[in-house]
Amino acid sequence: MRGIMEQQSAFQINETDNVATALQECKPGKVQLLGDCTFPYIEAVTDIPLGHKIALRDISTGESIIKYGVVIGRSTGNIPKGSWVHLHVMESIYDQRSSHLDAVTGAPKDTQYI
């Protein structure tokens, strides 16, 4: 367990981004924003694994996910501000297969092991 004083933080690369990257494993609560951020803190509403993305605002179905100031995919459901953004709520515009992978492990679910 993390000490209560240790700050949770996430890195926003471009000011137009609607997601930031967690620099530690984050629990619901206050998360400090670093980088080219538009506000100093965001309230996490779900767990965010290390290196994964947190929504910086409410993102509705079909909207672009922006990181580095560019489109890195689109949302497949409504994503509330402060929640985890990954394969379960977004997909690639190019790579159809990746949206069928396990959100936590990244393991393929479309290859049979029998």
By beta-carbon proximity to another protein, the closer residue of 39 and 94 is 94
Report, in Å, the least distance between residue 29 CB and another protein. Answer: 19
Part in contact with another protein (CB under 8 A); list of ranges 37-45, 55-63, 101-109: 101-109
Query: How many angstroms separate the CA atoms of 63 and 19, rounded?
Result: 12
The CB density around residue 18, as the number of other CB atoms within 10 Å, is: 20
Contact positions with another protein (CB under 8 A) in 51-90: 51-53, 65, 67-68, 70-73, 85-87, 90
Q: Where are the beta strands (DSSP E) in the chain?
A: 9-12, 19-22, 29-35, 41-44, 53-55, 64-67, 70-75, 84-85, 90-91
Among 7, 93, 50, smallest CA distance to 20 is for 50
Question: Does the protein bind another protein through residue 41 (CB under 8 A)?
Answer: no
Binding residues for another protein, per CB under 8 A? 11, 13, 21-23, 34-35, 49-53, 65, 67-68, 70-73, 85-87, 90-95, 97-98, 101, 104-108
